[in-house]
A = this chain, B = another copy of it.
Amino acid sequence: MPETHSAWYFAERPQGEPDLDCFDLREEERPSPNPGELLVEVQYLSVDPYMRGRMDDRESYAEPWDVGDVLKGAVVGEVVESHHHSYEEGDFVTGEGAWAEYSVLDGDDVGPVDPSIADPEAYLGVLGMPGRTAYFGLLEEGEPKPGDTVVVSGAAGAVGSVVGQIASMNGCHVVGFAGSEEKTDWLTDDLGFDAAINYKTTEDYRAALDDAAPGGVDVYFDNVGGPITDAVFTKLNLDARVAVCGQIAHYNAESVPMGPRKLPMLIAPRATVQGLLVGDYATRFGEASKQLAQWVGAGELEHRETIVEGLDRAPEAFLGLFSGDNIGKQVVQVSEPSA
């Protein structure tokens, strides 16, 4: 009798806000790797805001999920069967896999996980796609200079928390928006942000920015959109740079969201606004991974993961992203480490 495992399937497309009906947990036969592939026992899987876009039947940068497909995303796990010359049983790897207990990964597309640098779950956050997004987005599109004021929305998230710290390393005055006192405390007490604004308890974001960023805003790294962004755009300095990484405030909108027109605000400061996708920097991922690992290893870059335990709770962890349940990177623990 073949061995079975559990895997999450995409059950239906959401209208607006997704809910648990979008997901279907199935018991099925464990997958088998082909030549060049690895069978991995998934230890952690990543849930990310960008996945909301994959739930819509609309061409975009990430391929839409098809109803009936197994859900996929970044995972970390242990190789239990290798058909690739670079890996052997017992190795820890990270790559694009299934929301499942076991997943087949292409051996050419995975990366190694070095537990001497950080716990495996960090490879889904600071040492994974979110960390690289922060690295390239801030450094290449934000171009932070010493003395610049850098404002980050979603600052306590997987990307924002790294952005702020790299900005600090570059001698910037760093201000973060986050959604709880625990988060804002983390930013200022542990991550070295110069100021943090709790957007859930602050009424007047523009006034809060006048206090936190009295010299105006040179770089805005936007993960959120909505009223936070509306306020920041009124404070842009000459030659300000805005990196649009995410707009989580709008991902569940059922119609085109409306807001204050921003283009008139760009003329006087000659500001530049640029959409950001980390995949554009794929040829330089090695550079980023090396630098991020060095900073993490040296204790210069803090990171935190919010862990939801149990594959069965993966949809819940995903939905929690939209209410800001996570501090740092949201991951799902699928299995205990074998060691």
Contact = CB atoms under 8 A, between A and B. Distances in A.
Chain B CB within 10 Å — which of A225, A245, A258, A261 has the most? A261
B268 A244 contact: no
Contacts of A280: 270
Contacts of A260: 256-258
Contact of A270 (B229, B262, B263, B277): B277
Given A258-B258, A258-B259, A259-B258, A264 B250 contact: yes
Interface string A30-61: 00000000000000000000000000000011
A261 B225 contact: yes
A247 interface: yes
A225 B264 CA distance: 8
B247 A263 contact: yes
Interface string A264-291: 1011111111111100100000000000
A222 interface: yes
Contacts of A259: 258-259, 261
Nearest to A280: B270
A263 B61 contact: no
A148 to B, nearest CB: 18
6 closest cross-chain pairs (CB), A and B? A266-B275, A267-B275, A273-B273, A247-B264, A270-B275, A256-B260
